[in-house]
């Protein structure tokens, strides 16, 4: 095997940008790149290891011998080691053997910029390329029409390893998912899928949230090109793709980013800022320029190379606060004496600015569980710059309400109405996510009170209320057919349940709710604006009934929503409405097709000139038990 030759993909300008933390396409320079030098094919390797005394490439091509293929450090104090090794081909496994200046410590590390990794538990990086002929030109050219904030967002959250298994209980591949999953999502009508982290991770019970290969789709399900096929097929079906992205922490695995070159290279050197006690993982040093460039380059990489339409940023709250999960004395205030992590705030703003300035029609979504202000407001007005934020308060309050026996709900209607006081303070996404169906919380269906009929009526009512509520929507897999058991990442969803009417009915209801959401502009055009919502009556606690209007740009698109949160059938229930005319029914969660009781109003109802609820006109309804009914002027 030929020895290492001098070669570089870096220009002086690249190095200046890297040192300043402004190089957001580092994946084009660092890592392993198949190139041809003077007519000879091989691989150019480049790795950032400023505390190294020496760096060697070791792999199956040199029997993992340290020092046989040493890289050379650049002269410009960038800390980058590089070199060209002739003869290495795609598929070669490799690592970096790094001897540190710190007491001669030797580490053996996977490539932080590897495009592909060995299947865990193996830990080596694999020389690869990203050659692929994309077929989603139409989607990419019209993506803004699907992905803007005034478009419907109904997101199906998926853990690829446990959505469905084959007959032998093994994972479906990316290519198999490109058929089965795509067809299912299209059938049920979701507008987007959100994949729990698909970047390479060593430990299955982490669900993917402890990343090692930030630039590599996990090899559990196939090659990078196979994952591209999955994205391509989703786009062909008109479905957007959101990836969970984890810039908040990373594991201490020996081959990972931690203590990379014998120093705290990627993690903050102060354990009060550099270690996360909840997850026993390391925290990035957001104040270090090169680390910021690494993370922002990673975000850009997935959006650019994999045509991803959005990034949901995990655990933002843990990033924002210096005292997150820490007791007094375990954290240090910022320079102003506060608990906010100023480096993180600066980083998140820069990340969002870089994403939105580089791509049209993409979104970033923050999983942020506190009242930190202006998370989804532009940076130029002082916000963090995210497109949307998960509405964790809505999730908590709503599930707390629905878990109550219906006889007690009249005392707790404030659990539902309170969220409306701040629902437009951010661009909120309503999440019923994987976190709500694990660790003894029960499945969503399992939380519903009452006998079996009432449980499923409550579940359909919950989903109907969610889809009529302002904001984008997210539902974790299995919720759409009323999965009975908690989620188990080690197995498949309980697809056999769809043979039963109640479960099939929930699936039909979700499908119709998705269709309704996408077809009614009043449900999405102003979903983040107070102009898109108007109460009719939220004070009928005694009957546990709420009524409101969802409003679009055109008044003819407005719809009226009536929620009956008990199993008591309400005869001749009157509500005030905006104008005279006739109302037609759009949706009834109690319909027989959903395994409901089948109680309903006539298809057309006439408004009366009878003042009620502070309005000149009103109408009487039959309210089916535990139901959401939706109407529109004919």
Alpha-carbon span 104 to 263, nearest angstrom: 11
Nearest to 3 by CA among 54, 48, 35, 42: 42
Q: How far apart are CA 522 and CA 554, in angstroms?
A: 8
Give the CATH number of the domain where residue 368 resides: 3.20.20.80
Q: Give pLDDT, residue 67.
A: 87
Q: Give the domain-ending residue among 473, 493, 520.
A: 520
Q: Residue 374: is its pLDDT beyond 90?
A: yes
Tens-place pLDDT, residues 204-246? 999 999 999 999 999 999 999 999 999 999 999 999 999 999 9
* Averaged pLDDT score across all residues of the chain: 96
Q: Is 367 a catalytic residue?
A: yes
Contacts of 551 (CB under 8 A, 6+ apart): 522, 526, 531, 532, 533, 534, 557, 558
Closest among 517, 457, 456 to 482, alpha carbons compared: 456
Structure tokens at 604: 């057309």
CATH code, 38: 2.60.40.10
Residues 168 and 253 in one domain: yes
Is 138 a member of any domain?
Answer: no
446 and 333, same domain (yes or no): yes
Query: Is 191 a domain residue?
Result: yes
Backbone phi and psi for residue 546, each to the nearest 5 degrees, phi listed first: -130, 140
State residue 102's pLDDT score: 82
**Residue finishing a domain among 126, 143, 171:** 126
Active site residue 512: no
Angle between helices 392-402 and 452-468 in degrees, nearest 10: 150
Verify that 106 and 239 share a domain, yes or no: no
The mean-pLDDT minimum among 101-105, 372-376, 393-397 falls in: 101-105
Which residue in the list 226, 232, 244, 314 is annotated as catalytic? 314
What phi and psi values does residue 127 have, to the nearest 5 degrees? -65, 130
pLDDT of amino acid 2: 65
Q: Which residues contact 62 (CB under 8 A, 6 or more apart)?
A: 1, 68, 69
Which DSSP string corresponds to 154-191?
A: EEEEE-HHHH-B-TTSPBPPHHHHHHHHHHHHHHHT-S
Determine the average pLDDT of the residues in 479-484.
Answer: 97
Kindly state whether residue 1 falls inside one of the protein's structural domains: no
Per the CB < 8 A criterion, the answer to whether 558 and 578 are in contact is yes
Taking 70 as the threshold, does the pLDDT of residue 282 lie above it? yes
Q: How far apart are CA 591 and CA 457, in angstroms?
A: 10
- What are the backbone angles phi and psi of residue 158, rounded to the nearest 5°? -130, 135
Domain co-membership, 516 together with 539: no
Q: Could you tell me if 553 and 526 are in contact, meaning their C-beta atoms sit under 8 angstroms apart?
A: yes
pLDDT for position 206? 95
Separation between Cα atoms, residue 377 and residue 387, nearest integer Å: 7
Tell me the per-residue pLDDT of 614-631, one tens digit each, with 9 for 90 and over.
999 999 999 999 999 999
CA distance 634 to 298: 50
Does 139 fall in a domain?
Answer: no
Residues 506 and 460 in one domain: yes
Q: Which two tokens stand for residue 443?
A: 């499945």
Give 519-522's long-range contacts (Cβ < 8 A, gap of 24+).
Answer: 520/550, 520/552, 520/557, 520/559, 520/586, 520/632, 521/552, 521/553, 521/554, 521/557, 522/550, 522/551, 522/552, 522/557, 522/558, 522/559
What are the tens digits of pLDDT across the range 550-609? 999 999 999 999 999 999 999 999 999 999 999 999 999 999 999 999 999 998 999 999
Q: Which of 277, 214, 224 is nearest to 247 (CA)?
A: 214
Alpha helices in 321-363 (DSSP H): 342-358
Domain CATH code at residue 579 = 2.60.40.1180
Q: Is residue 156 within 8 Å of residue 166, measured between CB atoms?
A: no
Structure tokens at 559: 């719809």
pLDDT at residue 56 in the model:
97
Residues 564, 590 within the same domain: yes
Pure H helices in 365-451: 392-402, 414-417, 444-447
Residue 213 CB contacts under 8 Å (≥ 6 apart), including other chains: 110, 114, 117, 125, 199, 200, 201
Note whether residue 461 is domain-resident. yes
Cα distance between residue 391 and residue 373, in whole Å: 13
Same-domain check for residues 405 and 510: yes
Question: Residue 31: pLDDT above 70?
Answer: yes
Task: Give the H/E segment covering residue 534.
Answer: strand 533-540
Strand order in the sheet with 559-564: 533-540, 545-550, 559-564, 627-633, 582-588, 604-606
Gap between the Cα atoms of 99 and 107, Å rounded: 7
pLDDT for 114 beyond 90: yes
State the Cα–Cα distance between residues 132 and 116, nearest whole angstrom: 15
Residue 71: is its pLDDT beyond 80?
Answer: yes
d(CA 579, CA 582): 9
State the total domains in the chain.
3
Whether residues 547 and 612 share a domain: the answer is: yes
Domain-located, residue 65: yes
Do 575 and 608 fall within a single domain? yes
Report the chain's C-alpha Rg in angstroms. 27
Prediction pTM value? 0.96
Please check whether residues 83 and 190 belong to one and the same domain. Answer: no
Q: Report the DSSP pairing between strands 72-73 and 31-37.
A: unpaired
Position 133 in a domain: no
145 part of a folded domain:
no
The lowest-confidence range among 2-6, 104-108, 412-416 is: 2-6
Report residue 557: phi and psi, to 5°: -90, -5
Alpha-helix runs per DSSP H in 403-544:
414-417, 444-447, 452-468, 501-519
Does pLDDT of 137 surpass 70? yes
DSSP label of 387: S
Alpha-carbon distance values, 466 to 135, 154, 431, 561 (Å): 35, 11, 9, 12
pLDDT reported for residue 103: 82
Q: Please tell me whether residues 516 and 534 are part of one structural domain.
A: no
Q: Which domain holds residue 89?
A: 12-126
pLDDT band at 119 (very low <50, low <70, confident <90, very high): very high
Indicate whether 234 and 292 sit together in one domain.
Answer: yes
Region label for 91, one of left (φ > 0), alpha (ψ between -120 and 50) or beta (otherwise): left
Q: Which of 468, 485, 520 delimits the end of a domain?
A: 520
What's the pLDDT score for residue 254?
95
Q: How many residues does the chain have?
A: 634
Q: Of 157, 232, 367, 436, which residue is the catalytic one?
A: 367
Give percent above pLDDT 70 in the chain: 100
pLDDT reported for residue 446:
96
């Amino acid at each position: 095997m030929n020895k290492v030759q001098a070669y570089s993909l870096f220009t002086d300008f690249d190095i200046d940008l890297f040192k300043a933390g402004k190089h957001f396409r580092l994946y084009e320079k660092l890592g392993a790149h198949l190139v041809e030098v003077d007519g000879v094919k091989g691989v150019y390797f480049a790795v950032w290891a400023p505390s190294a005394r020496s760096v060697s490439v070791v792999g199956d091509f040199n029997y993992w011998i340290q020092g046989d293929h040493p890289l050379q450090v650049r002269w410009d104090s960038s800390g980058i080691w590089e070199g060209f090794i002739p003869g290495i081909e795609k598929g070669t496994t490799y690592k970096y053997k790094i001897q540190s200046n710190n007491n001669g410590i030797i580490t053996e590390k996977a490539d932080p910029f590897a495009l592909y990794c060995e299947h865990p538990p193996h830990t080596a990086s694999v020389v690869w390329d990203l050659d692929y002929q994309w077929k989603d030109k139409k989607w990419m050219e019209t993506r803004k029409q699907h992905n803007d904030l005034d478009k419907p967002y109904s997101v199906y959250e998926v853990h690829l390893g446990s959505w469905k298994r084959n007959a032998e209980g093994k994972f479906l591949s990316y290519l198999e998912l490109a058929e089965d999953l795509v067809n299912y999502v299209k059938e049920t009508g979701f507008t987007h899928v959100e994949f729990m982290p698909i970047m390479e991770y060593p430990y299955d019970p982490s669900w993917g949230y402890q990343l090692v290969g930030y630039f590599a789709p996990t090899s559990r399900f196939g090659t990078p090109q196979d994952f591209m096929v999955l994205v391509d097929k989703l786009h062909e079906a008109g479905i957007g793709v959101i990836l969970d992205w984890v810039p908040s922490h990373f594991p201490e695995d020996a081959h990972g980013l931690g203590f990379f070159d014998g120093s705290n290279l990627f993690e903050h050197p102060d354990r009060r800022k550099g270690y996360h006690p909840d997850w026993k993982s390391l925290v990035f040093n957001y104040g270090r320029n090169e680390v910021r460039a690494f993370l922002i380059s990673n975000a850009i990489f997935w959006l650019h190379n994999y045509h991803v339409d959005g990034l949901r940023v995990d655990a933002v709250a843990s990033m924002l606060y210096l005292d997150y999960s820490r007791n007094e004395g375990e954290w240090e205030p910022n320079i102003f004496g506060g608990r906010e992590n100023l480096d993180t705030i600066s980083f998140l703003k820069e990340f969002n600015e870089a994403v939105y300035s580089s791509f049209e029609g993409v979104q970033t979504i923050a999983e942020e569980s506190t009242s930190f202000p202006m998370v989804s407001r532009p940076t130029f007005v002082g916000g963090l710059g995210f497109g949307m934020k998960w509405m964790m308060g809505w999730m908590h309050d709503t599930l707390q309400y629905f878990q109550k026996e219906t006889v007690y709900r009249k005392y707790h209607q404030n659990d539902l109405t309170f969220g409306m006081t701040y629902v437009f303070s951010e661009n909120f996404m309503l999440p019923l996510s994987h976190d709500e169906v694990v660790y003894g919380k029960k499945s969503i269906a399992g939380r519903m009170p009452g006998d079996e009929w009432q449980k499923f009526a409550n579940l359909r009512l919950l989903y109907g209320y969610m889809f009529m509520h302002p904001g984008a929507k997210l539902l974790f897999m299995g919720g759409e057919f009323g999965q009975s058991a908690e989620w188990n990442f080690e197995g498949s969803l309980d697809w056999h349940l769809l043979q039963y009417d109640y479960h099939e009915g929930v699936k039909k209801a979700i499908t119709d709710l998705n269709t309704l959401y996408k077809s009614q502009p009043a449900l999405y055009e102003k979903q983040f604006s107070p102009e898109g919502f108007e109460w009719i009556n939220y004070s009928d606690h005694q009957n546990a009934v709420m009524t409101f209007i969802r409003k679009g740009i055109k008044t003819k698109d407005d719809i009226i929503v009536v929620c009956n949160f008990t199993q008591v059938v309400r005869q001749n229930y009157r509500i005030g409405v905006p104008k005279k005319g006739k109302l037609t029914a759009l949706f009834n969660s109690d319909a027989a097709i959903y395994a409901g009781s089948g109680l309903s109003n006539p298809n057309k109802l006439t408004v009366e000139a009878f003042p009620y609820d502070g309005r000149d006109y009103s109408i009487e309804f039959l309210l089916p038990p535990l139901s959401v009914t939706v109407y529109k002027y004919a």
